[in-house]
Amino acid sequence: MQVGWSILLIIHGILAVFLLGAITHQAIGVSWPVAKRSAGFVSAVRGVNGMSYTNAVVILFVTTFALGCIIYPTYRVNVRTVLQELHLFKPEGAFEMKEHLLALSLALLPIYWLYWHKASEANRGTRAVLTSLIAVAVWWGFLTGHVINNIRGFGS
């Protein structure tokens, strides 16, 4: 059974990496667009077509979120109790924040998708803030999950 949870956690982590890549590209592209495409890595990142990432971001977010919901009880029983016993309140609080940031981001996905679906110069500012907001939530979730897994990964 423990192996099964570990496999789910690893899949959750891999999907989170894909999501991080997609949302980060999109957030940089819309917040810091390149005026004239030139050679180089930074220019290439800034010059991505954000619209092509939208469906992938939504699917990856929902899938990663759903997997997180499935493995969450295992964290609650086997990991959080240890954090409390060891007085590791900062990682515990960071995980609490992760839950809330990602729940809020989930509710923003419909408007995020609609704005990107009909992307225009008029809604570029809103798209930039919404995408960055979701990107920050995903980064927070990923880094917190990584730290928590370092403290007490499943099977440890």
Partner 1 sequence: MTKTERLAAIFGIAFAIAYAPTMDFNWTFATYHPIQGIWQLLRNPPLGGGSPAMYWYGFVITSALVAAAVTGIAALLPDSWLNRIPWRTLSWLIPILSIVYIGYVLLPYATKT
Residues that bind partner 1 (CB under 8 A): 69, 72-74, 76-77, 80-81, 87, 89-90, 92-94, 96-97, 99-101, 103-104, 106-108, 110-111, 113-115, 118, 123, 126, 129-130, 133
How would you label 120-136 residue by residue, b for 16+ Cβ within 10 Å and e otherwise? eeeeeeebbebbbbbbe
Gap between the Cα atoms of 100 and 133, Å rounded? 13
Question: CB 106 → partner 1: shortest distance, Å?
Answer: 8
Task: Compare residues 19 and 83 and give the one whose CB is closer to partner 1.
Answer: 83
Question: CB 59 → partner 1: shortest distance, Å?
Answer: 17
Task: Compare residues 47 and 124 and give the one whose CB is closer to partner 1.
Answer: 124
Give how far Cα 127 sits from Cα of 34, 68, 114, 118, 140, Å.
16, 26, 10, 10, 20
Question: CB 109 → partner 1: shortest distance, Å?
Answer: 8
Task: Compare residues 34 and 97 and give the one whose CB is closer to partner 1.
Answer: 97
Gap between the Cα atoms of 70 and 75, Å rounded? 10
Task: Compare residues 4 and 93 and give the one whose CB is closer to partner 1.
Answer: 93
Question: CB 21 → partner 1: shortest distance, Å?
Answer: 23
Gap between the Cα atoms of 19 and 61, Å rounded? 7
Gap between the Cα atoms of 36 and 43, Å rounded? 9
Question: CB 141 → partner 1: shortest distance, Å?
Answer: 13
Task: Compare residues 49 and 81 and give the one whose CB is closer to partner 1.
Answer: 81
Nearest-5° angle of CA 94, CA 22, CA 9? Answer: 50
